[in-house]
Amino acid sequence: MTYQEGIEQIQNYTAGGSISQVLNFFHSVHSSHENPNQFLDEIGASDSYPDSLEGLILYIGSILQKRRQISVLYEKAMDRYQQVSELTAKRRATDDEGRIKENLTDFILKAEKLFELNDLTDESIVKELNRFTNESNLMNLTEGELQKMIVSSKTMTLLEPHMDKLREIYYGYEKLFDPLSRLIRIADYILEDGKRMAV
C-alpha cells in the first residue's frame, strides 16, 4: 500500500469505525522498511518520539509486529488449554495438568488485557492522525514528500500519551513472550504423558 493510499484510509476513518485498513498500511510500511525497528531502538535511547510520518508509522508498526508474535503464541496457548481440558474431561486431572491449565489461563488473560489496551490505543492514535491529515493540505504532495512529512507539534502533543501507552504495551508483550513460549512447550510434554496414560 502506498503512502497516498494509506493516508486516504486514515482520512476516511470515522469514530467507531474499523481501523483494520489503517493498521494494514502501518504493517506494510514497517515490513517493507530495511530497518523497521530503528525508531523503536532510538526511542528507547532518547525517550522521545519521531515527528515524521514515516517515523511514527514505523514505531507503531514495531508494536503491531510484536503483537502478531504474541497473537501466534496466544492461539497456541488457547489450543493447548483446550487439549488439556479435553484430556481431563472424563477423569481427574493430575497435579501437572491442573497447574498447566491454571498457568495458561493466567497468561491468556494477561495477553487479552494487552490486546484490549492495544486496540483502544491504536484507535486513539488513528483518530488524532485522521484529524491531522484532514486539516493538512496533502492533495498535491508526492509519495516521497508524504513519507518525510513532519507531523505538527500540536498533533505530537496529543499523540504523546498514546505513544507512551504503546511503549508500555510493547514491553508488556516482551514480558509475555518467553513465559508463554515455555508454557506451551511444557503443555506439549504434559499432553504427551496424558495421551500415553490414556492408551
Q: What is the pLDDT of residues 182-195, one digit of tens each?
A: 999 999 999 998 88
| pLDDT tens digits, one per residue of 154-168 | 999 999 999 999 999
Count of structural domains, the chain = 1
**How many percent of the chain have pLDDT more than 70?**
91
Cα separation of 175 and 67, whole Å?
12
Task: Give the per-residue pLDDT at 16.
Answer: 83
Cα separation of 23 and 61, whole Å?
8
Half-sphere exposure of 156 (CA within 13 A, CB side): 13
| pLDDT tens digits, one per residue of 78-125 | 999 999 999 888 888 889 999 999 999 999 999 999 999 999 999 999
Greatest CA span in the chain, whole angstroms?
70
Cα separation of 56 and 51, whole Å?
7
Range of the domain at 9: 3-198
Task: Give the per-residue pLDDT at 103.
Answer: 97
Average pLDDT over residues 171-191: 96
- 145 in helix, strand or coil? helix
Task: Give the per-residue pLDDT at 30.
Answer: 80
| pLDDT tens digits, one per residue of 60-87 | 998 999 999 999 999 999 999 999 999 8
Mean pLDDT over the full length of the chain: 89
Cα separation of 31 and 61, whole Å?
8
| pLDDT tens digits, one per residue of 21-72 | 999 999 888 877 666 566 565 555 556 788 888 889 989 998 999 999 999 9
Cα separation of 45 and 88, whole Å?
49
| pLDDT tens digits, one per residue of 135-149 | 988 878 888 898 889
Residue 2 identity (one-letter amino acid): T
Q: Three-state SS string across 33-63, please?
A: CCCCCHHHHHHHHHCCCCCEHHHHHHHHHHH
- 138 in helix, strand or coil? coil
Terminal C-alpha separation, the chain: 53
Write down the pTM of the prediction: 0.88
